[in-house]
A and B are shown apart, each in its own frame.
Chain A
Amino acid sequence: MKRTGLILVVQSILCVLLALLLIAAVIGIYRDGAAARAEDPLARIFTPELAAERLRPIAPLFFAVLGLTAVGLILRIKDEKGLGPVQGGRTENSARGGKIVRTVLLIAAIVLIIAGLFNAGARDVFSKAVRICTECVGLG
C-alpha cells in the first residue's frame, strides 16, 4: 500500500479509536461514580483523580494522533479524492442585492438595540454573561 494511503488509513483508525476510548472513559467514570453515589449520597460522581486515572491510558494514543498529524502535514499527505470537487451540475449564480432591504434591516437593528438598551435587555445579557453558565458547561 502506498505511504499516503497507509497514513490515511492508520490516522483514520486512530482518530475513531481515540474518540471511542474518550467516550468509554467518560461513560465509565459516570457509571462508577453513580454507583458510588448510590452507596453514599455525598460522594462525587466525577473527581479529578478519577478523571486523570481514566484519561492517562488514553494519552499515548492522543499523542500518536498528534504525531501522525504532524508527519502528515509536513509530508503534505491528504485525501486528494475526498478533498476534490464533486461531480456534475451547472449552476446559475445570481447577483446579490437588496440594498433597500439591507438598509431597512440596518435601521431596524439600530432601533432594536437602542430599545434594548432602554428596556434593560443589555443588562440581562451582561448579568448572564458575567456568571458561569452552569447549563452551558454541563453542570446542570
Chain B
Amino acid sequence: MDNTKTRQPSKRRLIQLYSALLYNAHLRGFVEGKIYQGGAKYACVPGLNCYSCPGAVGACPLGALQNALAASGHRGGWYVMGILLLFGTVLGRTICGWLCPMGLVQELLHRIPTFKIKKSRVTWLLSYLKYVLLAVFVIAVPLWYGLSHHLPLPAFCKYICPAGTLEGAVVLLSHPANSGLYGMLGMLFTSKFVILVVIGLACVFCYRSFCRFLCPLGAIYGLFNRFCLLGVSVDTDKCSGCGSCVRHCRMDVRRVGDRECIHCAKCMEVCAEKAISLRAGKVTLKTPEGTVGEAERKRREKAGRIAWGIALALLCLALLWFNFLDPAL
C-alpha cells in the first residue's frame, strides 16, 4: 500500500520510531544532561545508538566491539561477538531497515525535497567502503592499539561515527549542566562535526548514504543476510527474473536479500509476480496485497493488533522503569 497517498506513516516507519524511543527511553537524561548508568547497559541494542546519548538505555554494539577488541590482550571479547552473532543470525540487515535510529534519521533527511542522486555503478562500488572501515577502524586499529599500548582506542567511534557526534556530543553539549565539557573540545570535535554535517548533507541527496557506504555495523549484519531468520524472501517458482525489484530498490542490491538489502520490503509492492514476502522462518509476516484470503487477512490483522498492544505495553513499562523506577536513577 502506498502510504504517501494516505499521508499516514507506514508500519515500518512506526517501528523505526518505536525502536528509537525504546533505545533512548531514559528521557530524563535529556532533561538532566546525564547518561543512564543502570543495569540495562549490560545489553547491546541491535542498531547504531551511541551509549553516550543521555537517553540511551543500552550499549552500542559497535563501540562495545571496538573496546572488546582493544581488551583482547587480557580478555576475549566473546560476549560482544556472541551478541553480534545473535543479532546477525536472527535479524541480519532487517535491523538496518527497521530497528536502527541512524537509519531513521537518514531516511527523514532524505525526505527533504531536493534533487536526488540515484544508485549507479559508482554507488555500488562505494558500498564496499564500509568493509574497509570495518576492517581498519573497527577491527585492526583497536586490536593493534590494545595489544601494543594496552589502551583502548575505538577508532571508528573516535574519528568517524556520526551517531556519537549527533546523539552524544550535540545533545550533551546543548545542556547547560555540561558546559564544563566545552573546555575539552578541540580539533577532534571540529573534524567529527564536519564529518557529521557532510554525512547529513549526503543523506539529503543520496538515500541512506551512511548506511550504504560507511556503516561498519551494516557491513557486519550484511554478512548474515543470506542466513538470517527474518527478512524478505523470494519465491523462486514465481520469480520471472524481470529485475523490477532491483531496479526500484534504492539500496545497491544485485538481488533481493543480498548483503546490501535492508529488508524494507518495498520491493514487494513492485513485484508483478507477487513473488516477494517478508518472512520470519516459516512464518509469513507480510505478503503482497491480494495474495491471501479474507479470513487469513483478518487473522493477520488481529495478530498485528495483539503484537502492537504488547509492544506499546513494553514501551510504557520501559519509559516508567528508566525514568522513575530504576534503582540506578
Contact = CB atoms under 8 A, between A and B. Distances in A.
Query: Which of B77, B83, B186 is most buried by chain A, counting CB atoms within 10 A of its CB?
Result: B186
Contact of B85 (A44, A93, A109): A109
Given A83-B116, A98-B226, A101-B227, A116 B78 contact: yes
B59 to A, nearest CB: 4
A138 B188 contact: yes
A91 B234 CA distance: 12
A82 B116 contact: yes
**Size bracket of the A interface:** 35 or more
B183 A44 contact: yes
Interface in A86-124: 86-98, 101-102, 105-106, 108-117, 119-124
B241 A136 contact: no
A64 interface: no
A72 B183 CA distance: 41
B182 A48 contact: yes
Contacts, number: 281
A44 B86 CA distance: 45
Contact of A102 (B60, B83, B89, B270): B89
A133 B157 contact: yes
A79 interface: yes
Task: Name the prevailing secondary structure of the A interface residues.
Answer: helix
A122 B80 CA distance: 8
A17 to B, nearest CB: 10
Contacts of B270: 85
A1 to B, nearest CB: 13
B194 interface: yes
B284 to A, nearest CB: 13
A135 to B, nearest CB: 4
Interface stretch (B13-21, B95-103, B253-261, B308-316): B253-261
Given A94-B255, A138-B169, A82 B188 contact: no
A77 interface: yes
Contacts of A124: 67-68, 71, 75, 79
19 contacts: A8-B115, A12-B205, A29-B190, A78-B113, A79-B113, A83-B116, A91-B241, A93-B256, A93-B275, A94-B234, A96-B234, A106-B86, A115-B78, A121-B77, A124-B68, A129-B51, A132-B168, A134-B184, A138-B193
Interface of B: 4, 35-39, 41-42, 44, 50-52, 56, 58-60, 63-64, 67-68, 71, 75-83, 85-86, 88-90, 111-120, 152-154, 157-158, 161, 164-165, 168-169, 172, 179, 181-194, 197-198, 200-201, 204-205, 224, 226-229, 231, 233-236, 239, 241-248, 250, 254-257, 270, 275
Interface of A: 7-9, 11-12, 15-16, 19, 22-23, 26-27, 29-30, 34, 44-48, 51, 65, 68-69, 72-73, 76-79, 82-98, 101-102, 105-106, 108-117, 119-126, 128-140
